[in-house]
Amino acid sequence: MNYLVWEIPQIGGGMLIGIISILHVFVSHFAIGGGLYLVLAERKAYRENDPAALEYVKSHSFFFVLVVLVFGAVSGVGIWWSIGLVSPAATSTLLHVFVWAWAIEWVFFAVEIVAAFVYYYGWDRLDRHTHLIVGWIYFIAAWLSLFMINGILTFMLTPGRWLMTREFWHAFWNPTAIPSLIIRTMACLALAGLYGLVTAGAIPERKLKAKMVRFAATWLLPASLVLPLAGAWYISQIPPLAREISMGDSPAVTIFAGLSIALSAVLFVFTFFGPYQRPQHFTLPFAFMLALVGLSVTGVTEWVREAVRKPYVIYGYMYSNGITRRDQEIIEHDGALQAAKWVTTREVREDNRLEVGRNLYEIQCASCHTINGFNGMRFAVKGWREEFIDFQLQHLSELKGFMPPFMGTDAERRALAAWLADLNPKVPPITEPLAQRTVPPIAVAMGGAQTADQ
C-alpha cells in the first residue's frame, strides 16, 4: 500500500509475471543443464575420436549461446521489471532478507556469462583440456546460481522458522529448499536433453543423427526416475492449506496439478519409445512436439507452484496484495484509506462510495484481478446484489481460503461492495403496472390461435 498501483488491462500483472517467468524458466534451466550437456558431449566426441560429433557440439554451442545469452538474459531482466512493478512490497522484502544471497548470485551469474563467451569463442583457439575446463566453470557457476535462487524462491512458500527468528539461514534453508533443488536440477537435465533433441534432429547425416539423438534422449531418463520421489518429498513439506488447494480445494489448481503429472508422463514415455529406442527414425517436427510438451509441463508446474501459495505472496507473512499480517490489524482498526499512500480520498461519504470502492479495488484486489479481462471482477460478480457481495467480502477467508481477507472498516467494505455491484449491467426499472402493459401483436395472435384449437 506504500507504492503506486500498476494496473495492466485485460491480462493483469500476475498473468504478465507468469508469462515472462515460464518462458524464462524454460530457457534458464536449459542454460544450466545445457552447460553440462556441452561439456559431456564434447568429451564424448574426443574420447570416440569423432570429428563429425565435435562439429555438431560446436553448432549446438552457437544455438546454446544464442538462446541463453540473448533470450534468457532479456527475460531475466523482464522478471525483475515485472515483479518490481506488480509486487513492489514483496520484491523489497526479498531484497532485504536475501541481500547477500543476491550479491553472491550476481557474482555467479557474471562468471557464467564470461565463461559462456570464452567457451564459444574458444573453439579452435584453446586446447582441448583448457576448453573443457572453461565448460566446467560455466556449468558450476550456472548451477550455483540456481542454488542461490532456489533458496529464495522456496522461501516464498515455506519461510519456516524465519517467521519467528528473522534469521537469514532459517530463510534460505527452509523446509522445501532441498527437494526443490533436486527437482530443478532434474528439470535442467531433462531440458538439456529436449533442446539437444531439437539440434540433433536437424543433423543431415543419418548415422551421426541417430547417435546424437539417442545421446540427447538419455538425458531425460534420470529425471523420469527421480522427479516423482523428489516431488512427493516437496509436497510433504509445503503448508497444509497449500497441499489442500492442489488436491481438490481449488478445482482449477487441481486440474493443472494433474496436467503437470500427466504431461510429464507423456513426455518421458514418448521420449523413451521414440528417440531413445528408435533414434534412426527421429524427425525434427517430433523434436519440436516434445519441446512443446516440455514447455507445457514447465508452464502448468510453475503455475501450480505459484497458485498454492495463495492467499500469500510470502507465506504467513505477506498477502498477495502486498499487505503484511503485521499491518493487517492496523488497517482493520484505522481503515485502508488512512494506511494507503496513493488514494484519491481518505474518507467514505455517501457521494463518493464508488470512488472509494475503486481505490480499495486497486490497493487490495488489482494484484490478482482485472476488471474486464483475466480473472475479471465484472464476470466474478455478475448478477450479484450489493448485499450479497458485502456478505462475501465479510467472509472471504472462509468462503475462498486462497484469497486475502478484506482489510478495512465496515464503511470501506460496503463502499467496495457498492463499486463491485456497479460493475453489473444496468437494468432499467419497470415503472408500468403489469395490468396496463401493452401485449405484443404476435402474443395476441398466438393466444387467438390456441383458443381456436380448443
Q: Which pLDDT score, from 0 to 100, does residue 445 have?
A: 44
For 204, phi then psi, to 5°, come to -75, -35
**Cα-based angle 225, 171, 106 (whole degrees, multiple of 5):** 80
The pLDDT profile of the chain, 454 residues, written as one tens digit per residue, is 678 888 888 899 989 999 999 999 999 999 999 999 999 999 999 999 999 999 999 999 999 999 999 999 899 999 999 999 999 999 999 999 999 999 999 999 999 999 999 999 999 999 999 999 999 999 999 999 999 999 999 999 999 999 999 999 999 999 999 999 999 999 999 999 999 999 999 999 999 999 999 999 999 999 989 999 999 999 999 999 899 888 877 888 999 999 999 999 999 999 999 999 999 999 999 999 999 999 999 999 999 999 999 999 999 999 999 999 999 989 998 999 999 988 989 999 999 999 999 999 999 999 899 999 998 999 999 999 999 999 999 998 888 878 999 999 999 999 999 999 999 987 665 555 544 545 454 444 444 444 444 4
For 370, phi then psi, to 5°, come to -115, 180
- Name, in order, each residue with C-beta under 8 angstroms of 260's C-beta and a sequence gap of 6 or more: 297, 300, 301, 304
Do residues 39 and 135 touch, judged by C-beta distance below 8 A? yes
**Residue 61: how many CA atoms within 13 Å on its side-chain side?**
26
Q: Which pLDDT score, from 0 to 100, does residue 268 have?
A: 95
Q: Which pLDDT score, from 0 to 100, does residue 9 have?
A: 86
Q: Which pLDDT score, from 0 to 100, does residue 297 have?
A: 96
| pTM recorded for the entire structure | 0.89
Give the integer Cα–Cα distance in Å for 384 and 390: 10
Give the integer Cα–Cα distance in Å for 78 and 327: 30
Q: Which pLDDT score, from 0 to 100, does residue 220 have?
A: 95
Do residues 209 and 201 touch, judged by C-beta distance below 8 A? yes
Give the integer Cα–Cα distance in Å for 284 and 203: 9
Give the integer Cα–Cα distance in Å for 89 and 341: 13
Q: What is the largest CA-CA distance in the chain?
A: 103
Q: Which pLDDT score, from 0 to 100, does residue 430 have?
A: 54
Q: Which pLDDT score, from 0 to 100, does residue 429 have?
A: 57
Q: Which pLDDT score, from 0 to 100, does residue 446 have?
A: 43
Give the integer Cα–Cα distance in Å for 240 and 244: 6
Q: Which pLDDT score, from 0 to 100, does residue 442 have?
A: 46
Burial 160-197 (b: 16+ CB within 10 A, else e): bebeeeeeeebbbbbbbbbbbbbbbbbbbbbbbbbbbb
